[in-house]
Amino acid sequence: MLYDKARIHVVAGGGGDGCLSFRREAHVPHGGPDGGDGGHGGDVVLVCDDSLRDLQSFKRSVHYKAKRAGHGEGALRHGADGPPLEVRVPPGTQVASWDGSTHDLVVPGQRVVVARGGAGGRGNKKFASSTIQAPRLRERGLPGEEGWIDLRLKLLADVGLVGLPNAGKSSLLGRMTRAAPKVAAYPFTTLEPVLGTLDGPDRQLIIADIPGLIEGASDGAGLGHDFLAHVERTRLLVHVLDLAPLDGSDPVDNHATIEAELRAHDVRLAALPRLLALSKADLVPAEAAQQAAARWRERLGDAVPVLVTSAATGAGTDELALELLRRVPLSGPDEPDAAAALEHVPSVEHRVFRPAANRRFRVVRVDEGVFRVEGDGVERLLMRHDLDNDEALAHVEGRLRRMGIISALEAQGFEPGDDVEIAGIMFELHRG
């Protein structure tokens, strides 16, 4: 069974705490602070691994947590950074994070950080200055990011075979490639996409047999809703159409049904190049098959080649293979086949832009003499410090003033001694 969906919970490692320490050595009368900084927590990184083919491993394991960083120590020893946790996914995986960001992992070796480790806290050495020569405060490390991410596998294939159930897609794939799909005379024989490799004189093509679609597939009917996404990455579609459906349906209506479902799922699919393969030609007279092909060529025009095929006898399959090799574009001038395209890492320069920390805040007057300050930056500030420590509290108040929070509180009527709530902690600010 192909597992093409998964939902996992990731937790990055927390940052290490800074150290509160002073030098104490023989014959050194004025040691001074020497507390080291905490390390950076481990990131959770998704890595594209070409040895994987689906998301089955995530059915057994859902929670992934990176290790915490080491704490700072005396003698200015820096805490060890937490090692990154690498989570391997198959090529073609699309990632949707809890913050709305999305990533596509298609090239083996491609990496993306989905949860960043927490920053380490500073040791007391970093707070020493000409006026404060023996600081007795240090910072705590921040927790790492955490949340749920959705993984969706979209097959990496050059050609997608689409059509109604029992149109002959599986038989055609088995005849043209080394694939061995399940074939039977009942609807929905194919319950998951099947890949096959078409060998050409100087290149290969990956062909995907997409499970049968029915009317309403784009809205969730039948099996097509789960597998329409696999068509998105193909570069050419082969619409397989039964010349003589056993249920007596009209091939014209059947063709229109599939095309409408593709357009409803994604308008980009309507722009993909098409081939029409009229299948099961061995079940109708040869003259009738050629007449049907002529009518379809007149209906579709020169942009869509129409071929008469039979998986049972092999008629038309060689012509279809040559047409696919001719019409599917090469990945590039130096890449002779699709497999090489996936293994090739682009040599262009990549720049990573990381958003700056959100420093915005909001002051709310809760009651007489009670205020609440909301904002990521100010909440991180309080998480870093022990407010029972007088030096730490004085440092926090100084930071609040420099951030403009004291001015914003005063504009709301704040007076020294009023209660201020930040990140669920209630305390008094005495410096107006």
Out of 153, 183, 215, pick the residue that ends a domain. Answer: 153
Q: Are 45 and 86 in contact (CB under 8 A)?
A: yes
What digits encode the pLDDT tens for the residues 348-393? Answer: 344 444 555 566 888 888 888 888 888 888 888 888 988 888 888 8
Distance (Å, rounded) from C-alpha 209 to C-alpha 195? 6
- Amino acid in the structure at residue 20: L
Residue 353 placed within a domain:
no
Using alpha carbons, select from 166, 236, 241 the residue that is nearest to residue 208: 236
> Residue 404's domain is classified under what CATH number?
3.30.300.350
Specify whether 324 is located in the same domain as 209.
yes
Q: Is residue 350 part of a domain?
A: no
- Based on the domain organization, do 105 and 186 belong to the same domain? no
**Cβ neighbours for 73, distance < 8 A, ≥ 6 positions apart:** 19, 21, 35, 36, 79
Range among 47-61, 172-186, 260-274 with highest mean pLDDT value: 47-61
Residue 266: partners with Cβ closer than 8 Å, 6 or more residues away? 228, 232
**What's the whole-model pTM score?**
0.68
Residues 83 and 207 in one domain: no
pLDDT band at 344 (very low <50, low <70, confident <90, very high): very low
Both 413 and 320 in one domain: the answer is: no
SS3 217: helix
pLDDT digits (tens, 9 = 90+) for 113-134: 999 999 999 999 999 988 888 8
On whether both 50 and 146 belong to a single domain, the answer is yes
Given 290, 308, 341, the domain boundary residue is: 341
Do 196 and 308 fall into the same domain?
Answer: yes
Q: Residues 269, 310: contact at Cβ < 8 Å?
A: no
Quick check: is 114 in a domain? Answer: yes
C-alpha 121/C-alpha 40 separation (Å) is: 9
Q: How far apart are CA 408 and CA 259, in angstroms?
A: 60
- Kindly state whether residues 172 and 138 are assigned to the same domain: no
Domain that holds residue 100: 1-153
* Residues 6 or more apart in contact with residue 379 via CB below 8 angstroms: 422, 423
Question: What total number of domains does the chain contain?
Answer: 3
97 and 240, same domain (yes or no): no
- Same-domain status, 167 and 111: no
Amino acid type, 382:
L
- Per-residue pLDDT reduced to its tens digit, 69-83: 999 999 899 999 999
- End position of a domain, from candidates 91, 126, 153: 153
